[in-house]
Amino acid sequence: MKLAFNEKDIIEGCIRGRSDSQRVFFQYFYSGMLALCKRYAANEDEAKDLLQEGFIKVFDNLPKFRGESSLKTWVSRVMVNNALNYIKKNNKIQFVSFDSSSDLDFADDAEYVEDLEVIHPEMLIELIQGLPAGYRAIVNLYAVEGFTHKQIAEALGIAEGTSKSQLAKARIFLKKSIDKIKVHADARG
Amino acid sequence: MQMQEDDKIFKVLGDKLRNYEAGEASDADWEAFQAVYPAKKEKKRAFIWFLFPLLGISLSLLAWFTYNYTFENKKTQTAQNKPNSVLSSSDLEKTPLTADSKPEVLSADSKSELSELSSNSKPTSQKLNNNNLLNSNKSKKVRSYNQKKSNDGNQIENKIESNFTGNSSKTINNTKDPLVEENKNIITPNKEKNDLTSINPIVEPKKDLEPKPAANTTPDQRKTEAEIKNQISLNQTSKNHGKEIDLSEIKSDVKENNLNANDTAVKPISEKQNNGDSSLISQVKTKQKLNVNLLMKHIDLNAMLAPGMSIYNQSLDAANLAGLGLGLAFGINKHWYVGTGVNYMYANTQSKIKKEVPHEYSSISKIDTTLKYDFSSSMIVMDMDTHYQKHVGTKIDELSIVRKSQVLSIPIIFGYSIGNQKTELSLFSGVQNDWLVEEYTTNNLATKATETFTNQKLLAAPLVGFGFSRKFYANWALNLGMDYRHYLSSSLDKKDYWRVQAGIRYHLK
């Protein structure tokens, strides 16, 4: 049962420090924001830590919300920024090399797109969590948040070219991961 | 083309993940978050808002100590350094003359006293012990001196003699003695003898000049007085035209007056202490600073027992309030005062949702139970308000809400009062700090389950107000006041409050 909430009243209550309003807010955004945090985190525990910190920042900054975007977009943005800060703070933007030498060229992409559409999102999140933190951030920012390479470079403090090259490597990593899932699924019959 | 294919992979990935939601929040998730978030927030608020009472108390203490120290210091310094002005009676009481005191010009008013002194045919010792002479309002204004020690005798003699001539409106500060010869013609031999005897220790033996103790003094006091007078008289004689004038008589007279008039001002002074003004003044000053009675005179004690009686602008099913407080007002001077105190309030309110709530989780039910007026029997600004009357329901089927509030308030006010012995009107302003702990218990209509939420807030509100005070018996007074305060916190539905209050005050004076 999804909570439909009176945005204005709840925001007002949260700003005034009402615990009951905060609870409604927390419950309303919890699911979506947890999924967001999982994509940026390496595991479930790290995701919950990010979520908790993110909500604290959301509540603290709620008086600054001007309604220029939807509340969900604003909350997501706060959460993403919090996650990126966490990654940068912990020096996790390291583009470690992995085996990207592959014959998986771009011509095969159509096949992988079909595969992606049938894979459960939770499994896709696990695939992303398997990426090194730097690559994970770039994939998330590019694919999910819709950032351009320039914006990614600014957000992470890297060169634009680095963003492009690392995204290409991440794409190959994802393809390989999808292959593994398919093999595993075939083996299970 | 490659980029488009590349984008397509990530586009599908993004579409699938962007709106994905990973499970719902459990109670444990919320409690885990709440355990972290309020603590952080309250800590920050506590740091900010508790600065107010700390700042207020610090300022009050600082103001009090500064005022008292400078006030007493100023008074003693004035008494010590007043060369040409007439010493007031309080100056004389608080600043007894010592061996090093410099005699100055006698004012015109001194003539009456001196006339009395010289014309009286009684023995000098009796005259010096005449308390009425020195305790009269007129005589208290008399003593002032502006000439050097070498001229002391001459001046005093001149004053005495001028009095015999009837020239009463003239202040005599002439260092010469033209009137001596003139007055010799006026004073009869016997009278002259008596008068000269009274001021000249050479004419009569010193021991005869010993002032007799006052009738109401104790033996110890008499002994001490005699010691002091002897000490001063031995050190304080001067010559004038072949006659030795004993200034100590007049000075000891003043001393004696102090001792007899008010024994709280000066204690008997030993010979060792009697070295000069500074030691005496410091003794007086120290004594005044530590005088508990003086401190108590500034304090009003206000005890409040505050059974609740509240008027709400919306109907409540039940409302119980009770408070207990203690307040203190410290009078800085006749008009200004500082007040503070502490008050504890307990409120229990119960509301029922009258309107049926749609069976959706989205319902927001509001219950406006805003407190409009509050009567409490507290003298200083005490709070019995309920801050969180508006309740935002989070669940459907809320049958009722029971809300318990506990508020600990600490006001700091500065006030100005005018009036007479019976009635006072005061205006005050300050800040009130509240520590609010509240607890909601909601009953679910469907499940009959109860759920409890707790909340803690630290609030601050500047306030202004006025009050009447009417004394009805001894130190007891009835108070009636009204104040307005505005809460700074954004977490309150209603930030502005008016309040009428009545109370009882006990003045420690």
Q: Which of A1, A32, A124 sits opposite B361 (nearest CB)?
A: A1
Question: Would an 8 Å CB–CB cutoff place A171 in contact with chain B?
Answer: yes
pLDDT tens over chain B, length 509 residues: 344 445 778 888 888 888 787 777 788 888 888 877 765 555 555 555 555 566 666 666 666 666 665 555 555 555 444 444 444 444 444 444 444 444 444 444 444 444 444 444 444 444 444 444 444 444 444 444 444 444 444 554 444 444 444 444 343 444 444 444 444 444 444 444 444 444 444 444 444 444 444 444 455 555 555 555 555 544 444 444 444 444 454 444 444 444 444 444 444 444 444 444 555 555 555 545 556 566 556 566 555 444 434 433 344 444 555 566 666 777 777 778 888 777 676 666 665 544 433 333 222 333 333 332 333 322 222 233 333 323 333 333 445 566 677 778 888 888 888 888 888 888 888 888 888 787 767 665 555 666 677 777 788 888 888 888 888 888 788 877 777 878 777 666 566 766 666 677 777 65
Q: List CB contacts (< 8 A) between B11 and chain A.
A: 143
| Closest partner CB to B5 (pick from A22, A106, A128) | A106
Q: Are residues A27 and A58 in the same domain?
A: yes
Q: Is residue A101 part of a domain?
A: no
The verdict on B159 and B230 lying in the same domain is yes
**What whole-number distance in Å separates Cα of residue B195 and Cα of residue B245?**
12
Please indicate whether, in this complex, the C-beta atoms of A17 and B41 are within 8 angstroms of each other: yes
- Tell me the shortest Cα–Cα distance from A189 to chain B, in angstroms: 25
Claim: this prediction has a pTM higher than 0.90: no
Pair B246, B359 in one domain:
no
Task: Please check whether residues A172 and A121 belong to one and the same domain.
Answer: yes
Instruction: Assess whether A82 and A151 both reside in one domain.
Output: no
| CB proximity under 8 Å: B 437-496 to A | 440, 453-455, 457, 489-493
Q: State whether B376 and B262 are in the same domain.
A: no
- Is the same domain home to A68 and A138? no
CB A15 within 8 A of CB A63: yes
Dihedral angle, C-alpha A56, A57, A63, A65, nearest 10 °:
-130
Domain count within chain A: 2
**Where does a domain end: B286, B321, B348?**
B286
The verdict on A50 and A82 lying in the same domain is yes
Contacts of B491 in chain A (CB under 8 A): 15-18
SS3 B29: helix
Q: Which of residues 157-176 of B touch A (CB under 8 A)?
A: none
With CA atoms as reference, report the closest residue to B384 among B441, B436, B431: B436
Integer Cα distance of B101 and B255 in angstroms: 12
B126 and B251 part of one domain? yes
CATH number of the domain bearing residue B60: 2.40.160.20
Q: How far apart are CA B6 and CA B207, in angstroms?
A: 125
Helices then strands, counting H and E runs in chain B, come out as 15, 12
CA gap B161, B195 in Å, rounded:
10
Q: What would the two tokens of residue B237 be?
A: 């004689």
- Residue B263 domain boundaries: 84-286
**Mutation site for B-interface testing, chosen from A15, A58, A109 by largest number of B Cβ within 10 Å:** A109
State whether B302 and B233 are in the same domain.
Answer: no
Q: How far apart are CA B274 and CA B230, in angstroms?
A: 12
Q: Examine the domain organization and report whether B346 and B234 are in the same domain.
A: no
How many interface pairs between A and B have CB atoms less than 8 angstroms apart? Answer: 150
Q: Are both B243 and B324 inside the same structural domain?
A: no
For A1, the closest chain B residue by CA position comes to B361
Shortest CA gap A73–chain B (Å): 11
Q: Nearest Cβ partner of A3 from B23, B29, B362? A: B362
User: Does one domain contain both A84 and A118?
Assistant: no
CB distance B17–A26 less than 8 Å?
no
Q: Is residue B78 part of a domain?
A: no
Residues B200 and B348 in one domain: no
ipTM given for this complex: 0.82
Do B402 and B476 reside in the same domain of the chain? yes
Q: Do A38 and B12 touch (CB under 8 A)?
A: no
Distance CA B302, CA A115 (A): 80
Q: Looking at the structure, tell me whether residues A144 and A179 fall in a common domain.
A: yes
Domain-embedded: residue B21: no
Structural domain containing residue A133: 106-188
Quick one: A111 and A168 in the same domain?
Answer: yes
CA distance A53 to chain B (A): 9
Tell me the chain B residues in contact with residue A122 when contact means C-beta distances shorter than 8 Å.
20, 22
User: Are B267 and B306 in a shared domain?
Assistant: no
